[in-house]
Chains A and B, each alone.
Chain A
């Protein structure tokens, strides 16, 4: 079943076309990795799914609901993890999770259950009650994942979530994504990391100048193949 769907999706800013008619379907349990140079349209695509910007043409649907018409409702199904998960620095990881989770309409959840979710996302037990201002980027990303888990999101929108993480942090994050994928979450991730894309992605798409120029299934590819195809496309 299509969880995330873009049909003829276009976005133009004052004459500059950021996205030329994108068609994309991501099903439950799929991880679609968007590759491409900066400015290729990856972030634009994710923000259109989030409803942060409005499409110039075409539609975006989440669980069959048009984002343009059901903005707030579609948010119930998704979780968003940007390059830097931004939290309230004065509140602890637990308090941030509790706040965002209740905002998402999940009602009051037992704190012990939220602690368990944070632990599942890999946050060290001693960090859970510390103010977020003391967190590293990797720890904040983990709170972001915990927010997605607690919310029970059926789709995840990730915008370069691992850039700037050390290899260990990046590896931990990827393992979390695989777990979520195996639970049937549909994932759309913009990334520059070909290695991680091959590891966690079920498909990769290469974007260039606002067009999806290639879409490949990862199980038919080796790392070397992916890198070669990517570089071929980047060649002007």
Chain B
């Protein structure tokens, strides 16, 4: 029975020129945005790996230098583009990709692509994800707003009722028909996306297939929720025109107004320091020690003593050469600075994570926000992934600085600052390799948004189901 109704719905849609046109427009938009996203991603990936290689070469070719001077000279790393970023750039275009790693400092990534966007970049902003998140719901509304009101207005609802068909079967049949029509539009785009992701990710990134599969599932939840709402409104609206106005109103409020309001509210609820304020606080702690902790000099000498003890040199300072003492001192200073940075950055990260959680909860008022969070989270282009990059880069910076200070302590002899290391050391130093977080990690960060999305689906269908009890025939 349900299949019969679905088949009839599909047949009507397939013969309806308006649907064919709307479906074709959405498919063309999807394939175009996928194409542009893919081209952009391919060139960006190439640029960044070239830049990374150039940075590595400039590091190795920096000539003979004192290792600590080299640590000040620093090294650039570039955030690699995730395989699925072409589907959903998320907040990537607004966040930095270039990060300078140097002694005594934890820099933030800069050079966001949005800063020097060209036309193609700007078109790239209309991503496949935004087509899916904004335009497909409109297509669903266009296909379904008259699902019940139209039957009533045409008089076919009475004819249906006189056959003794149950309203539940009708609803499920209509839903299946709508799903079939949507699949006809979306499946070709999914096939294109899989091919592009395979080309971009290939064997280098084994995680993309699982992430893409989950993405397809998440969009399924989103479209399911929207369809449930469409059927609910169509069942309760006095006329097709009312249903259309209510649904388009819902769409524009939840996908255009709520996101703006939500980000303002999130920023107000959880305040973040301005960059200059943050830098000043860090500088203050660097000079004076952490609030409530020992002053700088005291803390550094305590750390230095601990280092000596760890290396078994306690009380043997008189017998150590200048370089070793200087090396230990540098290590202790770095450790102190790391403590200060850890303290401030952890505070910032907590505030950011809270802000993102507030934003995810805002999805209670907008399924669009829920899918936006889930989609960019799965594509690896949300704030959480950006922070993961920052954290890995910072860990690498410390390892690099430590390797250089170690070399200084071990090999510099008495004339510490005359000592120069060469290419052999630069080549021996660790190389940065960003490891994208796994799927489980990504899902951990999306718990709220996923739960809200499932909540929308359940609520929409409960409402659509309940509305069947009193669908007026006249």
Give residues in A with beta carbon < 8 Å to B: 50-52, 71-76, 78-80, 82, 84-91, 95, 99-100, 102-105, 131, 157
B273 at the binding interface (Cβ < 8 Å) = no
Which residues of the partner chain B approach A104 to less than 8 Å between Cβ atoms? Answer: 163-165
Which residues of the partner chain B approach A157 to less than 8 Å between Cβ atoms? Answer: 162
Q: Write the nearest CB–CB distance from A235 to chain B, whole angstroms.
A: 32
Docked CA distance A82–B161 (Å):
13
Closest 10 CB pairs of A and B: A75-B164, A86-B155, A80-B162, A104-B163, A103-B163, A90-B15, A103-B165, A72-B164, A90-B12, A86-B156
B160 x A72 contact (CB < 8 A) = no
B4 x A84 contact (CB < 8 A) = no
Query: A105 touches which one: B15, B162, B164 (CB < 8 A)?
Result: B164
Which residues of the partner chain A approach B165 to less than 8 Å between Cβ atoms? Answer: 103-104
Enumerate 14 A-B pairs (CB-CB under 8 Å) in ascending A order.
A50-B162, A72-B164, A75-B164, A76-B164, A80-B158, A86-B154, A86-B156, A89-B154, A91-B12, A102-B4, A103-B1, A103-B163, A104-B165, A105-B164
Docked CA distance A199–B166 (Å):
37
B116 at the binding interface (Cβ < 8 Å) = no
**Nearest CB in chain A to that of B5: its residue:** A103
Query: B162 touches which one: A79, A88, A131 (CB < 8 A)?
Result: A79
Which residues of the partner chain B approach A131 to less than 8 Å between Cβ atoms? Answer: 15
Which residues of the partner chain B approach A86 to less than 8 Å between Cβ atoms? Answer: 154-156, 158-159
Most A Cβ at <10 Å: residue of B155, B159, B165, B474: B159
- Which residues of B198-245 have CB atoms within 8 Å of chain A's CB atoms? none
* Seed contacts A52-B161, A87-B156, A102-B4; 11 additional CB < 8 Å A-B pairs: A51-B161, A52-B473, A72-B164, A73-B164, A74-B164, A75-B161, A75-B163, A82-B159, A88-B8, A90-B16, A103-B164
Docked CA distance A50–B156 (Å):
15
**Nearest CB in chain B to that of A76: its residue:** B164
Docked CA distance A73–B160 (Å):
14
B161 x A50 contact (CB < 8 A) = yes
B11 at the binding interface (Cβ < 8 Å) = yes
Which residues of the partner chain A approach B163 to less than 8 Å between Cβ atoms? Answer: 75, 100, 103-105
- Which residues of B416-474 have CB atoms within 8 Å of chain A's CB atoms? 473-474
B16 x A72 contact (CB < 8 A) = no
Docked CA distance A169–B15 (Å):
30
Docked CA distance A131–B4 (Å):
19
**Nearest CB in chain B to that of A50: its residue:** B162
Q: Write the nearest CB–CB distance from A125 to chain B, whole angstroms.
A: 22
Which residues of the partner chain A approach B8 to less than 8 Å between Cβ atoms? Answer: 88, 91, 95, 99
Q: Write the nearest CB–CB distance from A19 to chain B, whole angstroms.
A: 17
Q: Write the nearest CB–CB distance from A205 to chain B, whole angstroms.
A: 22
A103 x B160 contact (CB < 8 A) = yes
B4 x A99 contact (CB < 8 A) = yes
Which residues of the partner chain A approach B160 to less than 8 Å between Cβ atoms? Answer: 100, 103
**Nearest CB in chain A to that of B13: its residue:** A90
Which residues of the partner chain B approach A80 to less than 8 Å between Cβ atoms? Answer: 158-159, 162
A88 x B12 contact (CB < 8 A) = yes
Docked CA distance A85–B155 (Å):
8
**Nearest CB in chain A to that of B153: its residue:** A86
Which residues of the partner chain A approach B12 to less than 8 Å between Cβ atoms? Answer: 88, 90-91
Query: A72 touches which one: B5, B11, B159, B166 (CB < 8 A)?
Result: B166
B156 x A88 contact (CB < 8 A) = yes
**Nearest CB in chain B to that of A105: its residue:** B164
**Nearest CB in chain B to that of A151: its residue:** B163
A84 x B156 contact (CB < 8 A) = no
Docked CA distance A99–B151 (Å):
15
Query: A100 touches which one: B16, B159, B473, B474 (CB < 8 A)?
Result: B159
Which residues of the partner chain B approach A85 to less than 8 Å between Cβ atoms? Answer: 159
**Nearest CB in chain A to that of B159: its residue:** A86
A87 x B159 contact (CB < 8 A) = yes
Docked CA distance A210–B378 (Å):
66
Which residues of the partner chain A approach B164 to less than 8 Å between Cβ atoms? Answer: 71-76, 103-105
Which residues of the partner chain B approach A74 to less than 8 Å between Cβ atoms? Answer: 164
Docked CA distance A114–B5 (Å):
19
Docked CA distance A104–B166 (Å):
10
Q: Write the nearest CB–CB distance from B168 to chain A, whole angstroms.
A: 11
Q: Write the nearest CB–CB distance from B164 to chain A, whole angstroms.
A: 3
Query: A78 touches which one: B11, B155, B156, B162 (CB < 8 A)?
Result: B162
Which residues of the partner chain A approach B5 to less than 8 Å between Cβ atoms? Answer: 103
Q: Write the nearest CB–CB distance from A190 to chain B, whole angstroms.
A: 15
Docked CA distance A73–B166 (Å):
11
Which residues of the partner chain B approach A95 to less than 8 Å between Cβ atoms? Answer: 8, 11
Q: Write the nearest CB–CB distance from B434 to chain A, whole angstroms.
A: 55
Docked CA distance A1–B450 (Å):
61
Q: Write the nearest CB–CB distance from B447 to chain A, whole angstroms.
A: 43
**Nearest CB in chain A to that of B160: its residue:** A103
Question: How would residues 1 to 22 of chain B score, 1 for a CB under 8 Å from any chain A CB and 0 otherwise?
Answer: 1001100100110011000000
Docked CA distance A102–B158 (Å):
16
Docked CA distance A119–B18 (Å):
33
Which residues of the partner chain B approach A102 to less than 8 Å between Cβ atoms? Answer: 1, 4
Which residues of the partner chain A approach B159 to less than 8 Å between Cβ atoms? Answer: 80, 82, 85-87, 100
Q: Write the nearest CB–CB distance from A157 to chain B, whole angstroms.
A: 8
